Amino acid sequence: MQYPEPIAKLIASYMKLPGIGEKTATRLAFYTLGMDEDDVKDFASALTAVKSDLHYCSICGNITEDDPCPICQDKSRDQSKIIVVEHSRDVMAMERMNEYHGLYHVLHGTISPSAGTGPMDINVPSLLERLKKHDEVKEVIIATNASVDGETTAQYLAKLIKPAGIKVTRLAHGLSAGADIDYTDEVTLFKAVEGRTEM
């Protein structure tokens, strides 16, 4: 027996989300069916608003309702530092820390030869243009993930930016607080040793 078409379409829609298989999508679809009608309308409205009301900041590439975004508009932020991140959610994580008060640049991905993604496929050209126009930038902090593609992207950006006389740094990688050394993988241990600090 097949599901009625509206449920089948909803299941198929949920399955388009990352990490959602058929069983979870079916459970979500039937949960949605049991929701209050106003809650379903609010949910649908929120989904539509995400696509219609948000766009990318023309300066940093972060998601925003206004252009430029509030961070780029804020002249009280340290204009001499830019953290380069892979995704907008990384900006949110850095802001939750409440210790960094500089600017951001969102790449929207990484350089990935295996996936066929090159520098022109992500937000690299606008970063270089931004650095040319604004000579007050003294440091670019590369905060891509500690993955093969993240490291490739970091190395590529460093090679492009350093000749301009701008300091290029990389976020430290290594052991997380409370981690056991014997359960830590070799790459993380290497990064921890490489990024050691004097006591």
Give the pLDDT of residue 173: 75
Quote the pTM value. Answer: 0.82
DSSP states of the chain as a string? Answer: -PPPHHHHHHHHHHHTSTT--HHHHHHHHHHHHHS-HHHHHHHHHHHHHHHHT-EE-TTT--EESSSS-HHHH-TTS-TTEEEEESSHHHHHHHHHHT---SEEEE-SS--BGGGTB-GGGTTHHHHHHHHHH-TT--EEEE---SSHHHHHHHHHHHHHHGGGT-EEEE----PPTT--GGGS-HHHHHHHHHT----
Give the pLDDT of residue 138: 95
Every domain of the chain and the residues it spans: 5-53, 77-170
**Fold match flag (5-53 vs 77-170):** no
Q: Which CATH architecture has domain 5-53?
A: Orthogonal Bundle (1.10)
**pLDDT tens, per residue, the chain with 199 residues:** 799 999 999 999 999 999 999 999 999 999 999 999 999 999 999 999 999 999 999 999 999 999 999 999 999 999 999 999 999 999 999 999 888 999 999 999 999 999 999 999 999 999 999 999 988 999 999 999 888 899 999 999 999 999 999 999 998 777 677 777 677 777 777 777 777 666 5
Which CATH class name applies to 77-170? alpha beta
